[in-house]
Structure 1
Amino acid sequence: MGPDRDRPLKQITGQESTMPHSSAASHTSDSATMAPGPLVYPVTVLGQHHVSPAPAPPAGQPWSLPLTFFDLVFWDFPPVQRLFFYDSTDLADVPDFLLRELPLLKKSLATALHHFYPLAGRLPCRIQERVSPEVAYTDGDSVRLTVAVSGDDFEDLASDHPLDTARLRPLLPPLPTHGNGSSLSQDVLAIQVTVFPRAGICVGTTLHHAVADGSSYAHFVKTWAAIHRLGEKAAVDTPPLFDRSVVRDGAGLREAFIRDHQDLAAAGDRRLDDWDLSRRPGVIVFATFRFTDELLRRLGRHVESETSALCSPYALACGAAWAGIVRARGGGDTDGNTQFGFVTGCKPRTSPPIPPNYFGNCLGLCRVEAKRSRLTAAIASAAIWSVIEGLGTEQGRALRNAREWVRGARECAAARAVTVAGSPKLGVYAAAHLGASWGRPRKVEIVSVERTGALALAESGRDGEGGIEVGLALPRGEMDVFRAFYRDLLLRLDPAAYRCHEGKS
């Protein structure tokens, strides 16, 4: 483990910049243009620790990993930021955490980084001429672990109802940068642990999207949690695979994507910012909506009766959310089209298939279009399911339009397409079981959807309920409309769930 260098106490609030200095347009909202929001309790940073892989990475492993064309798709996307809320009412105070929990957390993180050492490495902030973009690990590199304390209401923050995103931002760590000019680089992972005395603990992670997709991230989290829960001797049954040769690129997509990024940067293309709600005036709120197994079954029967499509739970939840967001936005060209974008795992779809434990990105981009004026939950779900079904009927279809991915993502942003982050298949609640007094998280949120216009999907974290959680960030007025849409859906499809939902509101 690398040396721990303490930093002076510092307070950060929701109006300060806690966003990473990412190559993906790391802009914060202009607080001068924002309407006053609710009181934001400051978060006080107690210290910063630099955790290196321990022991050092295994001999024979590559210390530099070239970015593949899959990685380069997400080169200048905002980083992925998750919050894990853990109940810990037996935690008396901050000194108790620092004495009892922090050493174990740091030790398990260092051991997990032994297996996932590229996460302690760095990426260049710009793609340069004749320089291959790669994740480079050097002996002594580390992940910065920030320890903080908050006086905010833990129960409220870990709830489903709408929250001003200004209250969540201070729980997220920035990605540190190093050097200057052409040598400017940044860390690829940062972690923050925020203590809420006598209430709970929040673990926030910030990950550069060009380094890993959700599957690789969940693999790391599961390994870290298992080591924390079971000790250093916890078996790592499936170590990550870093061999880049398993990604075949006969079409030369990597070089094409590098040229695309260079050309877009030279042209000053900022269309990805069109997704970023944090840049807009007014209050942005984040809320979670639950599509239980029962609600999805009822919705599935409704969609089948309306369209004859037999949709998956994923398509049903996404379709309902897409229709609700279009309703919430209102206005616009009612005769025009609205777009929905999602990713599909490409590991089993390549020839030959890429091993499941491959570390990096391996996602294909898919796009759906529908008439704005006709978009209902049923039509939206059926349209998404039609594209998903097509992926399984044609060999190589997931990569058919791959050459357009980099520029196509910007077209989707300019059109304000609704997209997806996360997946119920990742199993983040089970993966993040830290054991002892921590247990499973009571709530997991992808807060970075505020900057990407995406739906944050996860499996339900409530025992016995099943289904899919959908988190989203919207301007406050639009969130009110979306909540009304969701309540109306519950009332029509599952009156019992509606009464339960109203009782909790």
Structure 2
Amino acid sequence: MAPEPDNPVRVLGQCQVSPWPSPPAGKPRSLPLTFYDLAFWDVPPVQRLFFFDNTDLLGGPEFLLSELPLFEKSLAAALHHFYPLAGKLPGGMPETAAPKIVFSDGDSVRLTVAVGDDNFEDLAGDHARDTARLRALLPPLLRNGGGQCSQDVFAVQLTVFPLAGICIGTTLHHAVCDGSSYVHFMRTWAAIHRCGLLDHSGGKSMAVEPPPLFDRSVVRDTDGLREVFLSDHRAYAAAGGKGPHDCDHTSGTTELATFRFTDRLLRWLGKQVESSETSARRCSPYALACGAMWAGIVRARGSSASFGFVTGCKPRASPPIPASYFGNCLGLCRVEEKMEPKQSCLEAVTASAAAIWRAIEGLAEQGRVFRDARGWVRVVREYAAARAVTVAGSPKLGVYAAADLGAPWGRPRKVEIVSVERTGALALAESGRDGDGGIEVGLALPRGEMEAFRAFYGELLVAAV
């Protein structure tokens, strides 16, 4: 592992990027949070890193002159379509009114530009890296004014690594939108950047198809979940207990590593599940990868752990919510079984994967995902406190393809969800390596647990040979 430099990042400057052109007057300036959004109100922000190779990049001053203007303009043009990302949220849960994302003309997203002195190749690898080195590449969300005035909901940092590449870091308040809406924004930003952004007439950005839908009326709340969630959040705040945002189970050095499940490995695991768990035939690649990770984490900790995941609710809602809807639209799902660290490697993986698959199959029942919805706020807090294994991201999002910036950057060589350090989630994505196929999973653990997990993963690979 490369040594950590004393000052891994030197900030060159910061600027505020506003949507350009400004959104039309007819667009809503205030978006109430739905019950889907409120389920994620006080979880930590979602923080992603995108690493792009470019050995021709000379350094910070050259980047500022040649590349930064295009990044700023393409970001502004993308924010024209996704202007709520430049808006504000209350700094805390209001005592009476419901929270809203409010955009005012002139609002902006803070863009930080920095030079990285760390080892780019090492940072963008799969091996275990100290998360402190990666956190330096991420921007914070700032609060505006004292008390609970307001806070930013989105921030971007561009870090230049001379003769190596760049890293784009984003920080997003989870109550604003889920991974599907976030990737929709990134796909729009990347497409505008690829296409050179502006026409010669001086201003109109390229059309986006489909544009994001901000109409909150498409979210039906016949069970009054929004009021239930508001009441729950206020009750927890009044009780003064720790929320998911405050839970930090790390001690000492925490490391982030990527573990790959190729198509070949997933097919082999699927056969093992089918032969040992007759109730779990046709186990999905998602369940297989998550099951293996869950089993390995239990082994690494030496103690049992619960498992939970989210599922997209746009097609499950009645009536269905359009795919272009901007916001959160996820349902919280729990796996009833709790894994214990007593089984052999393969037995643990097959049992874990089968348990996850049974929970996924159960979602086929009409309305099943909403059956326990009144308890979602409580479940988020309980899982955070218990250090349960959860999931962030999905291979279906296609985050690598979405972030294709075109020449000279192309697709990112690596995408990381660094915020799993705080949430304990598995960071799932499609494999970013050409021709590899399969799923890649990011995992953050204390150093001792990471070593134990890597041993478990190696044992699994040996068994699959």
Q: TM-score range by the shorter chain?
A: over 0.9
Residues 51-66 of structure 1 mapped to structure 2, 5 A cutoff? 51-66=17-32
1:213-228 residue pairs with structure 2 within 5 A?
213-228=178-193
1:386-439 Cα deviation digits (max 9, x unpaired): 0101101x1111111100000111111222210000100110000000011111
1:213-259, Cα deviation, whole Å (9 max, x unpaired): 00000000000000000133544110000000000001111011011
Q: How many angstroms apart in 2 are the aligned matches of 1:134 and 1:273? A: 19
Counterpart for residue 179 of structure 1: 145
Q: Which residue of 1 aligns with 2:262?
A: 292
1:32 is aligned to: none
The 3-state SS of whatever aligns with 2:136 is: helix
2:351 to 379, 385, 394: 379
Q: Which residue of 2 aligns with 1:16?
A: none
Contact 2:400 2:430 in 1 (8 A): yes
Query: What amino acid does structure 1 have at the position aligned with 2:184?
Result: H
CA contact 1:40–1:152 (8 Å) conserved in 2: no
Aligned partners of 1:271 and 1:57: how far apart in 2?
A: 35
1:489 lines up with 2:460 in the alignment: yes
- Residue type of the alignment partner of 1:400: R
Q: Is 2:342 the counterpart of 1:370?
A: no
Residue of structure 1 in register with 2:239 after alignment? 267
8 A contact 1:460–1:467 mirrored in 2 = yes
Deviation at 1:445, TM superposition (A): 0.1
* Alpha-carbon shift at residue 110 of structure 1 (Å): 0.3
Distance 1:411 1:290 in 2: 29
Q: Which residue of 2 aligns with 1:315?
A: 287
**Could you tell me which of 155, 171, 181 is aligned with 1:206?**
171
Q: CA RMSD in A?
A: 1.3
Give the match for residue 499 of structure 1: none
Identity of aligned residues (%): 70
Q: Is 1:165 equivalent to 2:131 in the alignment? A: yes
Are the equivalent residues in 2 in contact too, given 1:40–1:167 (CA < 8 A)?
A: no
Q: Which amino acid aligns with 2:219?
A: V
Aligned residue number for residue 7 of structure 1:
none
Amino acid at match of 2:269: L
SS for the counterpart of 2:167 is strand
Instruction: Indicate the SS of the match to 1:171.
Output: coil
Runs of 4+ residues over 3 Å off in structure 1: 37-41
Post-superposition offset of 1:53:
0.3
Show the 5 A alignment for 1:240-259. 240-259=212-231
Question: Where in structure 2 are the equivalents of 1:85-104 lying within 5 Å?
Answer: 85-104=51-70
Distance 1:402 1:250 in 2: 12
Query: Alignment partner for residue 142 of structure 1, among 108, 114, 121?
Result: 108
Distance 1:95 1:68 in 2: 44
| CA contact 1:47–1:148 (8 Å) conserved in 2 | yes
> Residue 238 of structure 1 corresponds to which residue in structure 2?
210
Contact 2:4–2:118 under 8 Å retained in 1? no
Distance 1:227 1:163 in 2: 33
| 2:339–2:352 CA contact under 8 A, matched in 1 | no
Counterparts of 1:354 and 1:83 in 2: how far apart (Å)? 29
What whole-Å deviation, never above 9, does each CA across 1:55-99 have from its counterpart, x for those lacking one? 011231100000000000000000000000000111112221111
* In structure 2, C-alpha distance between the alignment counterparts of 1:237 and 1:404, rounded to whole Å: 36
Determine if the alignment matches structure 1 residue 42 to structure 2 residue 13: no
1:443 shift after superposition: 0.1
- AA aligned to 2:338 is A
- String of CA shifts for 1:295-338, please: whole Å, max 9, x gaps: 101111111111122210000000000000000001x4xxxx63
Q: Deviations over 1:27-74 (max 9, x none)?
A: xxxxxxxxxx95554311000010000001123110000000000000
* Alignment correspondent of 1:408: 379
Cross-structure match for 1:3? none
In the other structure, the counterpart of 1:304 is: 274
Cα distance in 2 between the residues matched to 1:273 and 1:434: 33
Query: Is 1:197 matched with 2:162?
Result: yes
Deviates more, 1:152-161 or 1:120-129: 120-129
Cα distance between partner residues in 2 of 1:191 and 1:161:
25
Cα pair 1:73 1:257 within 8 Å, conserved: yes
TM-score under structure 1 length normalisation: 0.87
Summarize deviations over 1:132-179 as a string: whole Å, max 9, x none.
200000000000000000110000000000001111111000011101
Please tell me whether residue 122 in structure 1 is matched to residue 122 in structure 2: no
Q: Does the 8 Å CA contact 1:275/1:453 hold for their aligned counterparts?
A: no
Pair 275,382 (structure 1): closer, same or farther in 2 beyond 3 Å = farther
Counterparts of 1:271 and 1:142 in 2: how far apart (Å)?
Answer: 28
| 1:380 aligned counterpart, secondary structure | helix
Aligned residues: 449
**Shift in alpha-carbon separation, 1:411–1:209, aligned structure 2, 3 A:** same
Which whole-Å CA distance do the structure 2 matches of 1:56 and 1:173 have between them?
A: 24
Provide the C-alpha distance between the structure 1 equivalents of 2:245 and 2:115, rounded to a whole number of angstroms.
32
Superimposed CA distance per residue, residues 429-474 of structure 1 (whole angstroms, 9 cap, x where no aligned partner): 0000001111100000000000001000000000000000000100
Answer whether contact 1:271 1:410 (CA < 8 A) is retained.
Answer: yes
Structure 1 residue 471 and structure 2 residue 436: aligned? no
- Structure 1, gaps ≥5 residues long: 1-36, 496-505
Aligned residue identity for 2:443? L
Q: Does 1:112 align with 2:78?
A: yes
Q: Could you tell me how far apart the structure 2 residues matched to 1:131 and 1:179 are?
A: 19
Q: Distance in 2 between matches of 1:272 and 1:191?
A: 23
2:6, 2:274 → 1: CA distance? 45
Q: What amino acid is aligned across from residue 156 of structure 1 in structure 2?
A: D
- Name 2:202's counterpart in structure 1: none
Give the deviation of 1:127 after TM superposition.
Answer: 1.5
Counterpart of 2:41? 75
Secondary structure at the counterpart of residue 349 of structure 1: coil
Match of residue 460 from structure 1: 431
Amino acid at match of 1:270: K
| CA distance in structure 1 between the partners assigned to 2:18 and 2:244 by the alignment | 33
Cα contact 1:303–1:382 (8 A) shared by 2:
yes
- SS of the equivalent of 1:272 reads coil
Matched letter for residue 372 of structure 2: N
Aligned residue among 297, 311, 334 for 1:344: 311
Q: Secondary structure at the match of 1:92?
A: coil
CA shift in 2, pair 1:40/1:82, >3 Å: farther
Unaligned runs of 5+ in 2: 198-204
Match of 1:281 in 2: 251
Corresponding residue SS for 1:181: coil
